[in-house]
Chains A and B, each alone.
Chain A
């Protein structure tokens, strides 16, 4: 029976949204990214040794390396994001490196939407009370925040208006529909 199964990502039923004009909005699901919650006492050195990147110590920030990003979510909570299909090894690496912390695989618990394009900030501002001006929310900023009727983890991944949004799996379709609907008039206007 071993090969009978298939994995289905939370937004497998939605087609990505392209930004043909380059003036609008692109939206895709980033499937199966490994996502690990780390809670408790975490030594910066241990993380550096394990993943080669620093542990974000400041609220509203993230540290990124080639393969991984670590997002500060709370004074004793981080989200480690890694390439697809690496969650098992990531859990074991982290659990070994961080004996005093709780390391929980939440890969399947969250969906990740990448939103980018000139309209991205505007559309996000329709849902979150967070100030997304580059002065306040620059590349590398990350936080959990309110978004419309749900909670998201927002991560600005570059100087360009490109964001990764992690949302609880069961609400992924809601968020997708919401972003699609909110941006529709502007996408229509670009047609």
Chain B
């Protein structure tokens, strides 16, 4: 039961959130993307054991999406940043 620091509402129980999976997946240009590129965008995931940049949605709170970097093995939360921002470098 993680304590997630919502960038707006502060620390809240993880049950208030929905995880949107891997962050920073670029939607390719549908006009030019190959089938393989489209499959990559739709389905292929890094799914790392360790630091993971991911998207979260405070579904039962402010209903904002945001980015979070979290260790998938320890569940340690390393960084929280805006949905419009790219991954912080220090957190790998």
Residues of A participating in the B interface, judged by any CB pair closer than 8 Å: 59-60, 73-75, 77, 129-130, 143-146, 151
- The DSSP consensus for interface residues of chain B is loop
Q: How far is the CA of A74 from the CA of B16 in the complex (A)?
A: 14
For residue A171, give the distance in angstroms from its CB to the closest CB of chain B. 13
Contacts A73-B62, A144-B60 given; indicate if A60 touches B15 (C-beta within 8 A): no
Q: 8 Å CB contacts to A: which residues of B1-60?
A: 8-10, 12-13, 15-16, 59-60
For residue A32, give the distance in angstroms from its CB to the closest CB of chain B. 26
Other than the given A75-B62, A77-B62, 19 more pairs (CB < 8 A) read A59-B8, A59-B9, A59-B62, A60-B10, A73-B62, A74-B8, A74-B63, A74-B64, A75-B64, A77-B63, A129-B12, A129-B13, A144-B61, A145-B12, A145-B60, A145-B61, A146-B13, A146-B15, A151-B59
Contacts A59-B8, A74-B8 given; indicate if A129 touches B61 (C-beta within 8 A): no
Q: How far is the CA of A77 from the CA of B58 in the complex (A)?
A: 14
Residues of A within 8 A of B61 (CB): 74, 143-145
For residue A37, give the distance in angstroms from its CB to the closest CB of chain B. 12
Interface size of B by CB at 8 A reads: 13
For residue B3, give the distance in angstroms from its CB to the closest CB of chain A. 10
Residues of B within 8 A of A74 (CB): 8, 61-64
* CB <8 Å contact, B60 and A151: yes
Contact of B62 among A129, A130, A144 (CB under 8 A): A144
Residues of B within 8 A of A146 (CB): 13, 15-16, 60
Q: How far is the CA of A127 from the CA of B53 in the complex (A)?
A: 31
Top 4 closest pairs, chain A to chain B, by CB:
A129-B13, A74-B62, A146-B60, A151-B60
